[in-house]
Chains A and B, each alone.
Chain A
Amino acid sequence: MIAADLNLSGRVGAGEVALALLLVAIAMGISRWRGVALERDIGIASVRAFVQLLAVGYVLDYVFSGQGGLTPLVLGVMILTATLTSGRRGRMVPGAYVIALSSVAVATGGTLGLLILLGIIPSAPRAAIPLGSMIISSAMNTTSLVMSRLRDDLASHRREVEARLSLGATAHEASAALHHAAMRTGMLPTIDQTKVVGLVALPGAMTGMILAGVSAFAAIRLQLVVMYMLLGGNAFAALVAGELTVRRLFTADHQLIRSLRRVPGT
């Protein structure tokens, strides 16, 4: 059997997409039948996916066909969207949007920059945009996790943290254990995913290439680059998010900021 016979991407046309809507109808039917009341959400999600992907399709098609100079702009819009999402998630932290922007931007720039500098991937938009988008979405999740975990932990472990501060510890020393725990929370999902890759699920990039008819080993080589890239990107994101969050939750005088403390009234 030759690869071309399996090339699914070439076979899926508008008609096939319309037929696949049958599965959406089944999902809505199950939701209605068992009173889950998610029909509306399923409908909205399906329409949004359609509209968003179509729009992205036009943009990518345009950029790939000789408008490579727009690559930074495309990545910039993605980073901005990730910043808004992550910043909203972490809004109990002062300056959450700035933290999210710094962390996602450093993760993307650092990882993608290194891959291109080392000649592992070309700087062409066809490589930089899809790989960049993977780093961005993964760094976004890591950033949200680190910010919210660190904030919640500092609030709930206020007594221990202030006991250490009272003994003369700096803000960084007093929060070190919680800082490490938050970084672990942010980094572990990617590490776990990397450990079981291929055993539990075939990852997206690899699935896509295999469906597109590329040999399994070519797909695996790219997938390895993707996994290693995500490990690196998340470490960058956790580092920046953790560091900046600690700085925003303490004052320059090594005091917990007031919103983290129940105002003592006794």
Chain B
Amino acid sequence: MGDRFEYRDVRVDGDDGPIIEHFSAHIPGEGLTVIVGPSGAGKTTLLRLLNRLDDPDAGTVMFEGRDARVYDVLELRRRVQYVGQVPVTFPGTVADNVGDRWEELLDRVGLPLALGPRMADVLSVGEAQRMCLARSMARDPEALILDEPTSALDTASKGGIERLIRTLADGGLTVVMVTHDPAQAAALADRMIEVEGQRR
């Protein structure tokens, strides 16, 4: 299996100079790839390029061997699901948020089915993070990209989410995850991409 994603000499500009410059890396289709680096190194920016919430100012991001910009962007985003650092719940119940297959998906992310009819905004942060994963899984993605998925969680829920991410990666999904925590990266990753802080 070839690369799922590839960064080719990518540059992204910020308000005062490039956030990312001359960045190249391969992300294969299998397993869990962790992008690790200090705060301010541009890790979130790198993830946002994968589902085209942003585009590089120079260089190319490849998806399945082709420039990510040649795909229909809405279709690309369905196939490449991005879950942000802070879980975002939409108005309505947990079932409304996740969609028709909520029972199967809540089970898959380890949430009790009793939560289905509950309002999504009463979930704990850890539960909300799992619900966001379930909502993304409902789109049948090929890749899951996660921005610091455990940074908002306490230690107990952190372990649970890490195990879930591992399970999803082992189940055949391409998982790309960002963390600032080298220990977490080393423990979880099949492969690591290190980014260095290059901001003044």
Could you tell me which A residues sit within 8 Å of B by CB distance? 159-160, 162-168, 170, 253-256, 258, 263-266
Contact = CB atoms under 8 A, between A and B. Distances in A.
B86 to A, nearest CB: 6
Given A166-B53, A166-B82, 4 more contacts: A165-B77, A254-B74, A263-B14, A265-B39
B86 A166 contact: no
Nearest to B40: A265
Contacts of A264: 19, 42, 44-45, 48
User: Which of the four size classes fits the interface of chain B?
Assistant: 35 or more
Interface of B: 14-15, 19, 39-45, 48, 51-55, 69, 73-75, 77-78, 81-84, 86, 88, 90, 132, 135-136, 139, 148, 180, 199
Contacts of A256: 53
A162 B53 contact: yes
A168 to B, nearest CB: 4
B55 A167 contact: no
A266 B53 contact: no
Contacts of A167: 77-78, 81, 135-136, 139
A255 B42 CA distance: 18
B14 to A, nearest CB: 4
B48 A168 contact: no
B6 to A, nearest CB: 20
Most chain-A CB neighbours within 10 Å: which of B15, B39, B86, B148? Answer: B15
A255 B51 CA distance: 10
26 contacts: A159-B88, A163-B88, A163-B132, A164-B90, A166-B53, A166-B77, A166-B82, A167-B77, A167-B78, A167-B81, A167-B135, A167-B136, A168-B77, A168-B78, A253-B52, A256-B53, A263-B15, A263-B45, A264-B44, A264-B45, A265-B40, A265-B42, A265-B45, A266-B39, A266-B43, A266-B148
Nearest to A159: B88
A162 B73 contact: no
B52 A163 contact: no
A34 B146 CA distance: 60
B53 A165 contact: yes
Contacts of B45: 263-265
Contact of B199 (A163, A254, A265): A265
The 8 closest A-B pairs by CB, nearest first: A163-B88, A264-B44, A166-B82, A263-B14, A168-B78, A265-B40, A253-B73, A266-B39
Contacts of B55: 253, 255
A256 B52 CA distance: 11
A258 B55 CA distance: 10
A156 to B, nearest CB: 13
Nearest to A264: B44
Most chain-A CB neighbours within 10 Å: which of B39, B54, B84, B135? Answer: B54
A237 B193 CA distance: 51
B57 to A, nearest CB: 10
A66 B32 CA distance: 80
B48 A266 contact: no
Contact of B14 (A163, A254, A265): A265
A263 B42 CA distance: 9
Contacts of A255: 52-55
Given A159-B84, A255-B55, A265 B74 contact: no
Most chain-A CB neighbours within 10 Å: which of B43, B73, B75, B90? Answer: B73
Nearest to B132: A163
A55 B41 CA distance: 61
Contacts of A263: 14-15, 19, 45
A179 to B, nearest CB: 16
Nearest to A170: B74
A18 B16 CA distance: 58
